[in-house]
């Protein structure tokens, strides 16, 4: 069975969400939960971006996590200076994590307009940063920023960036849909092309601006990615990141990949609630259903129809009275019984979430 390495960025990308702010204590408790759950990599933050992230990297060493490896996140060196002179790279090393993930440009538009350097110089920035870190850190991951937009505009150059990172010693190349605007068929084709071009393992990192982050993550795995990045409950910048609470059971139960053990999979609803609680965010009914039974089954659909029907038919009433957990347990071992029945006053079909508002008002 093909294994998928899970890379959680709730503590870094998740904290970019405008309604999420974790204390240091929260971050440490979440790291312990993620470790118990079987997450392979926990991205703790960006050293130097704020004092809390710096404190986290020194405090997390005392937790003695059982399985998970902690990653520090940062960017490639600035142009025109060496990696050794780059302040951010020095801070990454100061975090003393076994894994460092650095993000670099792979879209020629950004190389020209943001960095304002030549395409060749950007390849040197990528290669030099990775080679320097690889001599000092156990594992170095390269986040290929805007890879799918870059591949669409200039596929040869986007692949050249991956090749430069691979030749410099990157352990995993993570293909990022940073804007969250690409569709699954595009993700699948570009990931397959990347997998043919390089032998280094690939990862997938999707944002949810088009409500496609989960589907795109699955497409990335189908295309050859063996590492999946996301956050618990889909927290993240703008419309959020790929929701690991949906991605994991889909990969494991529908696609047959191994992400976590069966007992760990049963902890999924609990970890979702735990993170909601620490974030002080009330899950909507839709989110609660997603955490309890991530796959929309017939029972869930029936229940939704009941909720929208003023006078449910006998058939629908019978389906609902059978309780969804009973139906879900047939198809989803991760399903747990709801601790509370959804409130009859809940209006999940009328009140938009902040994220859907953001998407539809663009």
75 vs 319, beta carbon nearer Zn ion: 75
Strand partners, 138: none
DSSP character for 288? H
CB of 335 to Zn ion, least distance (A): 29
223 vs 236, beta carbon nearer Zn ion: 236
Taking the C-alpha atoms of residue 242 and residue 138, their distance in angstroms, rounded to an integer, is 27
CB of 140 to Zn ion, least distance (A): 18
Q: How many CA atoms lie within 13 A of 89 on its CB side?
A: 26
CB of 209 to Zn ion, least distance (A): 11
CB of 298 to Zn ion, least distance (A): 34
DSSP character for 111? I
Taking the C-alpha atoms of residue 325 and residue 330, their distance in angstroms, rounded to an integer, is 9
103 vs 302, beta carbon nearer Zn ion: 103
CB of 343 to Zn ion, least distance (A): 33
Give me the helix-helix angle, 24-37 and 51-60, nearest 10°.
50
108 vs 177, beta carbon nearer Zn ion: 177
Sign of CA dihedral 68, 74, 77, 83: negative
Taking the C-alpha atoms of residue 23 and residue 351, their distance in angstroms, rounded to an integer, is 29
CB of 9 to Zn ion, least distance (A): 7
Task: Please state, in angstroms and as integers, the Cα–Cα distance from residue 162 to each residue in 85, 86, 96, 223, following that order.
Answer: 24, 22, 26, 16
User: Which residue in the shown chain puts its C-beta closest to Zn ion?
Assistant: 13
13 vs 209, beta carbon nearer Zn ion: 13
Q: Which residues of 27-63 are buried (b: 16+ CB within 10 A; e: fewer)?
A: bbbbbbbbbbbbbbbbbbbbbbeeebbbebbeebeee
40 vs 293, beta carbon nearer Zn ion: 40
13 vs 53, beta carbon nearer Zn ion: 13
Taking the C-alpha atoms of residue 213 and residue 63, their distance in angstroms, rounded to an integer, is 31
CB of 205 to Zn ion, least distance (A): 6
Q: Report whether 173 contacts 201 (CB < 8 A).
A: yes
CB contact set of 79 (below 8 Å; sequence gap of 6+): 115, 117, 121, 122, 125
* Interacting residues toward Zn ion by CB under 5 A: 13
CB of 191 to Zn ion, least distance (A): 17
39 vs 336, beta carbon nearer Zn ion: 39
């Amino acid at each position: 069975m093909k294994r998928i390495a899970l890379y959680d960025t709730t503590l870094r990308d998740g904290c970019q969400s405008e309604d999420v702010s974790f204390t240091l204590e929260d971050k440490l408790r979440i790291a312990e939960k993620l470790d118990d759950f079987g997450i392979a990599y926990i991205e703790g933050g960006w050293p130097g971006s704020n004092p809390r992230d710096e404190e986290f990297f020194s405090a997390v060493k005392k937790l003695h996590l059982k399985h998970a490896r902690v990653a520090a996140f940062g960017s490639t060196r600035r142009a025109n200076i060496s990696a050794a002179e780059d302040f951010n790279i020095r801070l990454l090393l100061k975090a003393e994590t076994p894994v460092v993930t650095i993000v670099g440009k792979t879209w020629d538009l950004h190389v020209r307009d943001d960095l304002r350097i030549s395409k060749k110089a950007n390849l040197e920035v990528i290669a030099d940063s990775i080679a320097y870190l690889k001599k000092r850190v156990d594992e170095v991951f390269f986040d290929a920023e805007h890879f799918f937009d870059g591949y669409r505009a200039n596929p040869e150059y986007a692949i050249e960036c991956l090749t430069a990172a691979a030749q410099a010693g990157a352990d995993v190349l993570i293909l990022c849909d940073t804007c969250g605007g690409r569709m699954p068929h595009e993700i699948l084709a570009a990931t397959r092309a990347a997998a043919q071009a390089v032998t280094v393992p690939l990862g997938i990192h999707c944002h949810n601006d088009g409500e496609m982050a989960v589907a795109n993550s699955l497409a990335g795995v189908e295309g050859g990615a063996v590492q999946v990045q996301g956050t618990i409950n889909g927290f993240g910048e703008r419309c959020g990141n790929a929701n690991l609470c949906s991605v994991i059971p889909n990969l494991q139960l529908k696609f047959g990949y191994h992400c976590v053990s069966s007992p760990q999979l049963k902890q999924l609803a609990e970890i979702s609630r735990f993170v909601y609680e620490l974030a002080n965010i009330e899950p909507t009914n839709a989110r609660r259903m997603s955490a309890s039974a991530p796959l929309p089954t017939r029972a869930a659909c029936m229940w939704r129809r009941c909720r929208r029907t003023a006078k449910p038919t006998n058939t629908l009433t019978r389906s609902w009275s059978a309780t969804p957990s009973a139906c879900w347990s047939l198809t989803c071992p991760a399903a747990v019984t709801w601790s509370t029945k959804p409130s009859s006053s809940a209006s999940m079909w009328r009140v938009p979430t902040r994220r859907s508002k953001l998407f539809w008002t663009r």
